[in-house]
Amino acid sequence: MHSMTERFTDALHRIDSDRDVQPMVDLTGDDAQLVKLDEHHETRGKDGAKTFWEDYRNVFGDLETTFTHSVVGEDSAALEWTSTGTLRSGKPFRYRGVTVIEGDEDRLTGVRTYYDSAAFLQERAGTA
């Protein structure tokens, strides 16, 4: 799972910098399940991965993710990260979370992401 973890982080950095989701879609298995913190956002397969990652990236203006810690097992990895940048409104943000990936060295079979949503709740409420 070590090489898949590196490929995943590289693909995420491409999403951050270039808004290019294709490298991440290419890593995703046909039956993969992708889930965000809120249970309303769950997708499956390559088409679902494209939607999942495009929806994720469209929340932000500028975006940079730094991976701060990882635990890698045989068929899964947990990646801690911090993301900074601006929301689409231009408001600066910083938030942290964990993404759990599952699969093998060829394909992702699962992606689950858990994060501190305060930056987004404050944005909707219009307060800092």
pLDDT at 118: 80
Enumerate the domain spans of the chain: 2-125
Count of C-beta atoms within a 10 Å radius of residue 2 = 11
71 forms beta bridges with 78
* CATH number corresponding to 2-125: 3.10.450.50
pLDDT at 73: 97
| pTM listed for this prediction | 0.90
pLDDT tens over the chain, length 128 residues: 999 999 999 999 999 999 999 999 999 999 999 999 776 789 999 999 999 999 999 999 999 999 999 999 999 999 999 999 999 999 999 999 999 999 999 999 999 999 988 877 655 544 44
Q: How many helices (H) and strands (E) does the chain have?
A: 4, 6
Q: Taking Cα atoms as reference points, which of 75, 71, 95, 73 lies closest to residue 85?
A: 95
Start-end of H helices in 59-125: 118-125
β-strands 108-115, 92-103: how paired? antiparallel
Cα–Cα distance for residue pair 15/58, rounded to 1 Å: 10
